Structure 1
Amino acid sequence: MPLDRILRHLISWQRADGPPVPLRKLTVEQARERYLANSVRQGLPAGDPRAAVGTEERTIGTADGSSIGARVYTPASDEGRVVTFLHGGGWVLGDLDTHDLACRTLASSLGAVVVAADYRRAPEFPYPTPLSDSVAAARWTSRRFPGRDHVLAGDSAGASLALGVALAARDEGEPAFAAQLLLYPPADPSLRFAAAGAHPDGYLLSVDDMAWSYELYVPDAPRRHEPALDLLRADLRRLPPTVIGTAEFDPLHDEGVELADKLQVEGVWVRHVPGPGLVHGYLLMQDIVPKAAACTQQVLQELDSVLRSAHPADERPPAQPYADAIAGD
């Protein structure tokens, strides 16, 4: 399918004065400011159900005795689910504000409490700190919201972190997850799939952008072969049912497809939702690209189907009220 018409115009507009400055030619702060400016939207239309989602700022203790922030989203209609959400941005960019609309969408569409973790980012905190913080966030969520179907979710770098958390939980025996949602996950630190793919550059993310991200996140290059990073070489058996979303015009497309295939071969239930005509980061474009919004809803409908098959309506356990979950914390 050709590149979505609206995305084509957006990319043309972005390049009107020449190609955008590559990430590695910006300071980290400049890159973060640009990502924030491109991600944050002002307000929601009147009557949008996502506007009814409540939010509260929380603090989560980490394994090294520090703490990270978190934002808890409470849906208007509660289906007894909870999501630990890990934002994208190459482990360097992104924060709670860049993914606020995405988390509101998850909460509203799934009827789920969403805990968005503000894990510490590289290069100030390289690997494994962001992963360790993500594990701590998932455990906090599990303790605060027992009895709910717990979903691990993330986009881009956050999807890599989510899968790393799932591997740690499998090996350590807790917490238990009902499903995981991985949107355009980076799974190949060698970037061989990305470099050999059909769209290595020119569609809002380049192979060089990913190389820059890995250099800052894992400066000790040999560590990039560890299972939590080199996901296509990891043992992926006994992981929760997984929904993977990819984008056609994304350097990470082929490794996302390969990851879906590997999970299935290793016995994990997988549903791969392709994003024809879309680019990396479509989760953050729902309000300006109708096709991105439609694909996001398709991904969430697949996830909803997984959760409903695990707990038919007449067998669903009662959800602990949100107010009770955070009482005394």
Structure 2
Amino acid sequence: MADLLIEASAGEIRTALVDETGPLEIGFHRGRDLHREAIVLARVSALAPDINSAFVELEGGVEGGASCPLSGLLPCHYAPFEPGSARPKRIGDAVHVGQKFCVELVMAPNEESKSWVVRADYARKGRYLTLTPFRPGLRFDDGFDLEGKNRLGDALTPILKESGVAVHAPARGIGDDVLMAEAARLLGQIRAIRTAGGGARQILAAASALKNSLRDAPPDLGRIYLSDRDLLAQAQSCLKQWPDLLPLLDVPKTEMGLFADHGVEEALDALIDGHITLPSGGMISIDETRAATVIDVDSAKARWVNRGANREQGVAGPGAGRLSM
């Protein structure tokens, strides 16, 4: 069973999913990435048919306000379209220069790109549900039995009249009152987006990094360890919406810090060094050259079972490849 670690420092939230073998996933939340999932008004400034995309200005965006608009890139597969209809295949059929609409910030600018990647077919995500106004219908993560699907389908019928709904695994065992409260919150956000008028302004701000880290925590966690009491108080406030996580919160005593105690700092040092030892005995080497970043997997022979037969395979062992940043 995995535990979630959350550490806070100035302007940054660090998270790690760990089990008895060490870290499985590591996340950093800082800078521009903290604005991801915000909804802002966009204006198409130019079409780029060669990459089947459009350039947009994010009016009233996340840095500098209306007087300093940011740029965004809108790929055709993220372009606006009538819910339930076919997606446009060419950017020129989807938008025109000067057109305004709301977009969701998807990917922050990096060293290679100065523009946000944005999408006009936005969704609003919660812990138990995601509302998908551009994709009608009801969908379930794996693990729901027929009785549960029928019960939740009946409860969500009023919501389905305005938006598609994806029901997530943490919703299993959650009371209908909690589920419907989240549905109402998310539907309120979608209505606010739909009724947003013109003008340069941010429509919906992004949630805090702490809140999104808790929202995206997998089901069946062991504990959620927080670095200090202030972070605990913030988490307790967030989890009024997600009561399944509230009993898991803990602030353990630690001399070296959560990440050091659970082997995460050691894993980060290995990433920086460019040599990562796999549980199977293999190794991943990462080397940067002027032309490319080269990743070499030197896999040890690991034994695994397939349909009752033991086979020797040159593959990484359990958990390999799940460490991400």
Tell me if both proteins adopt one fold, taking TM over 0.5 as the criterion: no
Larger radius of gyration between Structure 1 and Structure 2: 2
TM-score of the aligned structures, taking structure 1 as reference length: 0.24
Higher strand share: 2
